[in-house]
Amino acid sequence: MAARAGEPTRNTAKDKDMHQYNGHHLLPPTGIDIPPEIRLYVITLLQHTLVCTVDLRSQVKQAGWNVKGHDFGPLHALFATMATALEAYTDLVAERLVVLGGVAYGTTRAAARQSTLSEYPDTLTGGPAHVRALLECFTAYATAIRGDITHTADVEDAGSAALYTDLSRGVDQQLGGLEAYLNG
């Protein structure tokens, strides 16, 4: 299998030495039979997903706190359900990252520094405006998740690819809920 630019090549040697991670943390050997350079690559993907998930959850909470109008009740409940699901996703992603030997950086400050999602508008109040803004954020997040399914499958990390597939299914359901509101 040929690696794409920026992706690690598969090393068949059983290199169990400690490896640098994130510039200062060491990546320890694990019983997982994924080569260290592949683990580093996947850990980087997972870390990015973690901070974007933390960021997206905070944007959903922002919408829930500030939504006004005749649809307040149903939208507040929808946003609360979405935030709960995103909280579960952060745990799943962080746990996979740590199992691979990484360190999960999932603080709000880490998310603010590293997330690639667009900033949530701070002037919204009406329900439809919040739904449209969240739909935009969830669409970008879903696109990244689907890309990470491919990236992790390409480096033969079936466990991480399965995690991303599960996340994708959940995010697609959340997108469907937002779209149903707008089209209903």
pLDDT in tens, 47-96: 999 999 999 999 999 999 999 989 999 999 999 999 999 999 999 999 99
- Residue 49 CA to residue 167 CA, distance in Å, equals 10
**53 domain-assigned:** yes
**10 domain-assigned:** no
pTM: 0.85
Residue 148: per-residue pLDDT: 98
pLDDT in tens, 6-27: 444 444 333 334 444 454 456 7
> Quick one: CA dihedral 71, 74, 78, 79, positive or negative?
positive
**23 domain-assigned:** no
> Residue 145: which domain range?
36-183
**50 domain-assigned:** yes
Q: What is the identity of the amino acid at 161? A: A
Block residue for tokens 């746990």: 95
Residue 8: per-residue pLDDT: 44
**17 domain-assigned:** no
- Residue 49 CA to residue 100 CA, distance in Å, equals 15
pLDDT in tens, 104-151: 999 999 999 999 999 999 899 899 999 999 999 999 999 999 999 999
**26 domain-assigned:** no
Domain count, the chain: 1
Question: For residue 95, what is the domain's CATH number?
Answer: 1.20.1260.10
Q: How far apart are the first and last CA of the chain?
A: 47
**6 domain-assigned:** no
Q: What is the identity of the amino acid at 83? A: A
- Residue 179 CA to residue 176 CA, distance in Å, equals 5
Residue 168: per-residue pLDDT: 98
**90 domain-assigned:** yes
